[in-house]
Structures are given as C-alpha cells and as structure tokens.
Amino acid sequence: MNPRKILVAQGGGPTAVINQSLAGVVLEARRHRGVESVYGARHGVRGIVNEDLVDLTQETSHNLEMVAATPASALGSTRDKPDVKYCQEIFKVLQAHEIGQFYYIGGNDSSDTVRIVSEQALAANYALRCIHIPKTIDNDLVGNDHTPGFPSAARFVAQAFAGANLDNAALPGVYVGVVMGRHAGFLTAAAALGKKFADDGPHLIYLPERVFEVEKFLADVKATYERHGRCVIAVSEGVHDASGKPIISQLAKELEHDAHGNVQLSGSGALADLLCEEIKARLGIKRVRGDTFGYLQRSFIGCVSDVDQREAREVGEKAVQYAMWGGRNGATSGSVAIKRTGTYAADYELLPLEAVAGKTRTMEPEFITANGTDVTDAFRLYLRPLLGSGMPDAFRLRPNPVAKVLNKG
C-alpha cells in the first residue's frame, strides 16, 4: 500500500532536535509519488482527537529546514498519556481522515500510544502503518544506543558544568547543580564530560541508579572540600533513599523539624536549595550555591550537537522508508531505533513496538564507578562522540609563583 494520507505528531517534553525528526518525516514523505497529503496534529494526540490538524504539504521546504533547526516541538506537544479509550478516539479520527500512516515522535509513553493505536487498526482490519520515532533527553528508551535529543541536552549539561567549575575555581566554595532525569541518570552523568584537568569538577555525581544517603553525601562533600578547597556536585532530580522515596521530601521534613521555616516542596529550585542548606548547616561551609538547570537544559536555543541534529533527521527519514518498504523483517509498523557501529557511526533498525513501549532504560552498571559518585571511562567513550563537533575547551594559567618579599601571607 502506498497511502494517500500521512499524519505526524510530536509528544512529551520538547528537545533541541525534535523538529529535525518532523522535517525528516515530512520532506521524505513528500517525495513519494503516492502521497497526497502530509498532515500534522497540533499538540500531539490531543490535536488528533480534537481534529486540530495542519496540512504540512502546503509548507515550504525552506521553512521546514528553518523549523528543523529550531528547538521545541513546532507542532506543539502534550502531556496526555492515552489509555485504550483515548486510543480508540485517536483511531476514529485517523479512519475519518483516511490516514494510512501514523508517525508519533516521542518517548516511551508515546511508543505505547502507537502500540495501542496499531492494535486498534488491526482489530478493525484497517490498513494503518504505525511508526514510533524516538525522542527524549532522558535517554531512557530500551533498544536504542541513545535517543535523539539526549546528546544536545547532554552537551548543555557538560558545557554548564565546565563553566560552573571555572566559576567555582575563581570564587571557591561548594556548587550544587541539579539536573533533569527522574529514573535514568544519563543526563546528570553528562556533567562529567565538562572535566578537563585532574582537579576539575564535577567532583561528585549523584544518580538515581544509586541509593542517595544524606550522611554519605555530606561525608563525600566534606572530604572533597578538604582536598580541593572547593567542591562541584552534579545531582539528579530523581535521587531517592533506599525505600525509593525522593530525597527532596525527606530533606524538607528534616528542615521543618529544624525550624528552618516554610519550605515548599513543589518549587523547582527546592532540591538544590535543600541540599545547600544541609551543607551549610552540617558542614559549616559558608559559600554554598545551588542551581537547578530546569527548562534551560532542554529548551536553550543555540546549544546543539550536530551529531544529534543529523541523527534526529535520519530517524524521521528512516521512519518513512520503513513504513513504505518495511524493516529488515518486512514489518511496516514499529519503533525506529538507533544502533551504534564502530567508533563512531549510527545505524537504524525498526523494532517491534512491544519491544520499546512503556519500558524504561537506566544507566548500565559499567557506566558508574564502584563508589557510585562518578562515571567510568566506558561512559566517557560512550558519550563523547554524541556531543558533536566544536565543544568549547577550558584553559588555565600555568603556575609561575613570584617569590615573597614581605612573607606575611
């Protein structure tokens, strides 16, 4: 079947390169003779059920290229997580508009949506090719070497920590940077790629793959501060105690007992602030500063990996090629996955939707050091090629001390 109509949508958190995948789908689909229309749904699955569709066949190639280089979801996104009933509504709209191919760019929730819609079509004996196109800064999709969006966000985090380390060396103290990632620590771990010299920070990295113990944390910070006279720390927002309870709620309680005041849990800067308070109060260090990278790490315009851009474009193109001509096993529905070959090249594969849908990848044990507060060289080798070309580099003055005259210091 060479369908007349195609629909594409974007779901979940925006990334720096998700529009590359959109452009990849649209430009590739438009060059197929049998394709009459390429539609886009505004704000993901919500736009489908509301029939809020735009005709991307009427968009210029030039503007599609410009949009591709613009971060965030150009079609708009949604946080809706469809259940079976919601997917039935999606399917009704696809039927009504005679859509023959459905592409959804998103994370593991989105892949599950694609899986259910695909099952609806099968049950109704309606010919629909359903492709999930990977996207997430969390890098937590199974079956993928890595996911589009992650390398650019990782580059932002690495550059942020490279800069924070220089700032911290100039005005010594403790710096805590809180990075996104509820279950997977890949993005927080990327902070390590900002290091160059042996004594550079981040000196400590806390990942959700390891249990976070406040006492151990304070001992680590104390030891680092005594050794270097300063300490730069990367913390995942998802750090939790042995029972799985987020540290943010644990610390907030302790601080209330300490009568430290009206601590609010829901604010996005809370974890960094609470960890800083803990360090000040328990270790007696005066200069302690916390940043929460928040939305900057996924939305900042002008910090992007060219490798990520290229791959995000290709997964969109490959999605259409798989739907038109089938994957290796002939399937025309599935989830596009990135595979690594050599050091470093990317290849693509169409996985069954069930292999990806709703599953969560976390950091492989070989990427985390035994003490749990740093990454291994295996992780550095894994991440470095993804960050792309033109990574900024930090230099320092070499020591040439002048002999003292007054000897007062």
Residue 107 as a binder of a copy of itself (CB under 8 A): the answer is: no
- Binding residue for a copy of itself, selected from 4, 163, 360, 377, defined by CB under 8 A: 163
Which C-beta is closer to a copy of itself: that of 267 or that of 358? 267
Which C-beta is closer to a copy of itself: that of 180 or that of 368? 180
Contacts of 141 (CB under 8 A, 6+ apart): 107, 108, 111, 134, 147, 337, 356, 359, 361
Quote the CA–CA distance of 56 and 38 in Å, as a whole number: 5
Which C-beta is closer to a copy of itself: that of 99 or that of 353? 99
Residue 321 as a binder of a copy of itself (CB under 8 A): the answer is: no
Distance from the Cα of residue 285 to its chain's centroid: 33
Residue 293 as a binder of a copy of itself (CB under 8 A): the answer is: yes
Quote the CA–CA distance of 298 and 180 in Å, as a whole number: 9
138 is a catalytic site residue: yes
Beta carbon of residue 41, minimum distance to a copy of itself (angstroms, whole number): 9
Which C-beta is closer to a copy of itself: that of 284 or that of 399? 399
Residue 283 as a binder of a copy of itself (CB under 8 A): the answer is: no
Residues of span 178-217 touching a copy of itself by CB under 8 A: 194
Distance from the Cα of residue 323 to its chain's centroid: 26
Which C-beta is closer to a copy of itself: that of 216 or that of 289? 289
Beta carbon of residue 329, minimum distance to a copy of itself (angstroms, whole number): 34
Crossing angle of helices 108-123 and 84-96, rounded to 10°: 60
Beta carbon of residue 229, minimum distance to a copy of itself (angstroms, whole number): 11
Residue 389 as a binder of a copy of itself (CB under 8 A): the answer is: no
Quote the CA–CA distance of 177 and 233 in Å, as a whole number: 6
Contacts of 256 (CB under 8 A, 6+ apart): 263
Residue 351 as a binder of a copy of itself (CB under 8 A): the answer is: no
Residues of span 252-271 touching a copy of itself by CB under 8 A: 252-254, 260-262, 264, 266-270
Contact segment (CB under 8 A) with a copy of itself among 126-134, 240-248, 272-280, 371-379 equals 272-280
Block residue for tokens 């042996």: 198
In the chain, what's the furthest Cα-to-Cα distance? Answer: 91
The encoded tokens of residue 93 equal: 């709209």
Residue 75 as a binder of a copy of itself (CB under 8 A): the answer is: yes
Sign of CA dihedral 237, 201, 191, 244: negative
- Binding residue for a copy of itself, selected from 183, 289, 310, 359, defined by CB under 8 A: 289
> What residue type is 6 in one-letter code?
I
Coil, helix or strand at residue 4: coil
> What residue type is 289 in one-letter code?
R
Residue 251 as a binder of a copy of itself (CB under 8 A): the answer is: yes
Catalytic residue among 112, 138, 200, 220: 138
- Buried b vs exposed e over 368-388: b needs ≥16 C-beta within 10 Å? beeebbbbbeebeebbebbbb
List the catalytic residues.
Answer: 138
